[in-house]
């Protein structure tokens, strides 16, 4: 899950299996659903049980890999990716390219998660180039 963006059908199947296990589903009958699945996936502090929504969890793991790309640009695997997918630009502005691999498409999804939720923190201002 930390390398590839999994298909939506797989997320639904995993969430369905978890819900069936939690609610005590059998082939002949199903038990009462005491609460909706999205409510069970909420944090414990918000009244839920804290189950993971696998779609969100997968994107968070991909975003973690993208963060590693940004923080360790001299790592060998990052240099390989840079040479193949973004030789003349930064990772944050890289395009998909002509024939991207499934892994690269997955990293782009993780990068989009970072760019949608990241913000600048000024701190003492020494690293800001004005």
For 38-79, write each residue's pLDDT tens digit: 888 888 899 888 888 888 899 999 999 999 999 999 999 999
SS3 call for 43 = coil
Question: By residue range, what is the domain housing residue 86?
Answer: 55-117
Contact 113, 63 (CB under 8 A): yes
Q: Is 102 left (phi over 0), alpha (psi -120 to 50) or beta?
A: alpha
What distance in Å separates the CA atoms of residue 25 and residue 36, rounded to the nearest whole number?
15
Average pLDDT over residues 109-128: 84
Q: Please check whether residues 26 and 74 belong to one and the same domain.
A: no
Q: Please check whether residues 71 and 100 belong to one and the same domain.
A: yes
- Provide the number of structural domains found in the chain: 2
User: Does residue 123 lie in a domain region?
Assistant: no
SS3 call for 124 = coil
Q: Please check whether residues 33 and 67 belong to one and the same domain.
A: no
**Residue 19 in tokens:** 């819900």
Contact 39, 48 (CB under 8 A): yes
User: Does residue 98 lie in a domain region?
Assistant: yes
């Amino acid at each position: 899950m930390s390398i590839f963006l999994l298909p939506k059908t797989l997320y639904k199947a995993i969430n369905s299996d978890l819900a069936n296990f939690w609610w005590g589903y059998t082939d002949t009958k199903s038990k009462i659903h005491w609460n909706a699945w999205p409510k069970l996936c909420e944090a414990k502090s918000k009244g839920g049980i804290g189950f993971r929504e696998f779609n969100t969890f997968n994107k968070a793991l991909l975003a973690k890999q993208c963060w590693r790309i940004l923080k360790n640009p001299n790592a060998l695997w990052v240099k390989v990716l840079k040479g193949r997918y973004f030789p003349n630009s930064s990772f944050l502005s890289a395009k998909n390219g002509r024939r991207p691999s499934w892994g690269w498409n997955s990293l782009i999804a993780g990068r989009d998660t970072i760019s949608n939720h990241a913000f600048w923190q000024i701190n003492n201002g020494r690293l800001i180039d004005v």
